[in-house]
Amino acid sequence: MIRSRSWLPIPMLSLLLLVVWLLLVRSLAFGQFLLGGALAIAIPLLTYRFWDVQPSVKRPGLLLRYVLRVLGDIVVANFQVAWLILNPRQRSRPHFVEYPLMLEERFTITLLASTVSLTPGTVSANLRMDGRTLLIHALDVEDDEALIEQIRERYERPLKEIYEC
Amino acid sequence: MSFYVILEAIISLLLIAGGAFAFIGSLGMAHLRDFYMRLHGPTKATTMGIGCTLVASMLYFGIADSEPVVQEILIALFLFITAPVSAHLLAKTGLHLQLKYVDKTRGHPVELQEEEVGQTPVPHGSPPDRGPITLDKRPPSQ
């Protein structure tokens, strides 16, 4: 939670909101600046209590590589899931996997859970209250150890390098 | 062949691929066996379907109107942020309600074990149907 009593509790969010508003209306008119500015001030003031302090990006180059890798994996994931759905023999082997988390910050855990949901055959189902394990439902898995190892090497270690080290 | 013919072909292919992926995702909802497996269709295939459609839209309007296209990127961004979160919440709700899953599912998460709520232990496999949720039950006297 961010504790602040200033007019702009989260300056980056305000800037982002203004830019997104201007991009959405596709106009740079003065009135749109005024409306977007009002929203950019009002929304953070109403919601800053729900915000966690976000860790800073320590290695932007790695983040870019991570985003590209996830985009590539999303395409692969889609073909895999499409094939599983269309396959008439239904050879899917669903599996609940307990994934032991190495990450500690809540923001990075959220990123990891979202990545897991978007990438091949896995949906993150539950984050345990202690923040130590993530419950993952996998659609078709041969070996759960291999799946855990794959997520660890492909997603969690880069995230840890980008944000926490 | 002119440039525009090739461009039109690419855009058409993307639109067809987008439609196909969205359809397969929806088919998964009807076709897969249990709640947790059905979640996989809409989170992935639908994301890809809309992604293809958005790329086609960016190509068409980017070249036909020769304006920079940003709204499609914003839509994709919102989609990538919201799709995993809604899937996670749905899965969590499913666990909370202890929805049944197919027998061949391996792994037996604590959330779906009956011992958690102080009832008799169940053997490894799909939990028995618990009937309606206890909150909905009225006391028999009323």
Q: pLDDT per residue over A80-97, tens digit each?
A: 778 877 876 766 777 888
Name the band, by pLDDT with cuts 50, 70 and 90, for residue A2.
Answer: low
CA dist B20 and B49 (Å) reads 7
From the list B34, B47, B111, the residue facing A118 with the nearest CB is B47
ipTM of the complex: 0.76
Q: Which residues of A touch B (CB under 8 A)?
A: 20, 23-24, 26, 74-75, 77-78, 81-82, 84-86, 90, 92-98, 113-118, 121, 123-126, 135, 137, 139, 144
Assess whether A33 and A108 both reside in one domain.
Answer: no
**Interchain CB contact of B48 with A (< 8 Å):** yes
Report if residue A135 sits inside a domain.
yes
Judge whether residue B116 has pLDDT over 60.
no
Q: Are A87 and A139 in contact (CB under 8 A)?
A: no
Residues A15 and A81 occupy one common structural domain: no
Q: What value, to the nearest 5°, has the Cα angle with vertex A136 and ends A132 and A138? A: 155
Q: If pLDDT is split at 50, 70 and 90, which confidence band does B133 have?
A: very low
Q: Is A28 part of any domain?
A: yes
Long-range contacts of B89-93 (CB under 8 A, 24+ apart): B90/B39, B91/A123, B91/A124, B91/A125, B91/A126, B91/A137, B91/B36, B91/B39, B92/A125, B92/A126
A38 and A85, same structural domain? no
Q: Phi and psi at residue B36, in whole multiples of 5°? A: -70, -35
A5 domain residue, yes or no: no
Burial class (CB in 10 A: 0-12, 13-18, 19+), A90: exposed
Q: Give CA–CA dist A153/A58, Å, rounded.
A: 19
Supply the pTM of this predicted model: 0.73
Same domain, A104 and A141: yes
The reply to whether residue A75 touches residue B48, judged by beta carbons under 8 angstroms, is yes
Which of A16, A27, A75, A78 has the most B C-beta neighbours within 10 Å, making it the best mutation to test the interface with B? Answer: A78
- For residue B16, what pLDDT is reported? 93
The whole-number average pLDDT for the span A43-61 is: 79
One domain for residues A23 and A85:
no
Question: Domain for residue A70, yes or no?
Answer: yes
Taking residues A12-27, what's their average pLDDT? 85
A15 in any annotated domain? yes
Distance CA A82, CA B41 (A): 8
Give the one of B48, B80, B83 whose C-beta lies nearest to A78's C-beta: B48
Domain that holds residue B129: 3-136
CB contact under 8 A, B80 and A85: no
- Orientation of helix B46-64 relative to helix B71-96, angle to 10°: 170
Write out the two tokens for A139: 């659609």
For residue A6, is it within any domain? no
Among partner residues A121, A123, A139, which is closest to B87 by beta-carbon distance?
Answer: A123
- Nearest-angstrom CA–CA distance, B33 and A10: 45
Is B141 part of any domain? no
Q: Is the pLDDT of residue B60 over 90?
A: no
Average pLDDT over residues B127-132: 47
Proportion of chain A above pLDDT 90, given as a percent: 1
The pLDDT of residue B19: 92
Q: Which residues in B lie closer than 8 A to residue A77 (C-beta atoms)?
A: 44
Is the pLDDT reported for residue B126 higher than 50? no
pLDDT reported for residue A1: 55
Structural domains in chain A (count): 2
Tell me which of A44-48, A52-56, A88-92 is least confident. Answer: A88-92
Residues A126 and A157 in one domain: yes
**Overall domain count for chain B:** 1
Contact B107 A121 (CB under 8 A): no
Both A81 and A160 in a single domain? Answer: yes
Confirm whether A155 is domain-assigned. yes
Q: What is the mean pLDDT of residues A133-146?
A: 80
pLDDT of B122 higher than 50: no
3-state secondary structure of A87: coil
Give me the residue from B40, B81, B85 closest to A81, CB to CB.
Answer: B40
- A51-55, A72-76, A93-97, B58-62: range with lowest mean pLDDT: A51-55
Domain assignment of residue A25, given as a range: 11-50
Cross-chain residue pair A78–B45, CB shorter than 8 Å: yes
Q: Does B26 touch chain A (CB under 8 A)?
A: no
If pLDDT is split at 50, 70 and 90, which confidence band does B12 have?
A: very high
pLDDT given at position B15: 93
> What is the arithmetic mean of pLDDT over B74-85?
84
Say if B34 is an interface residue toward chain A (CB within 8 Å). yes
**Higher confidence at residue B106 or residue B82?**
B82
For A118-165, give the DSSP string. HSTTEEEEEE-TTSSEEEEEESS-S-HHHHHHHHIIIIIHHHIIIII-
The torsion angles phi and psi of A136, rounded to 5 degrees, stand at -120, 135
Which residues have C-beta within 8 Å of that of residue A156, sequence separation ≥ 6?
A101, A102, A103, A112
Task: Give every CB contact of residue A62 below 8 A, 6+ residues apart in sequence.
Answer: A158, A161, A162
Residues ≥6 apart with Cβ < 8 Å to A49: A1, A2
Q: How far is A4 from chain B (nearest CA, A)?
A: 26
At residue B13, the pLDDT reads 93
Same domain, A37 and A80: no
In a domain, B142, yes or no: no
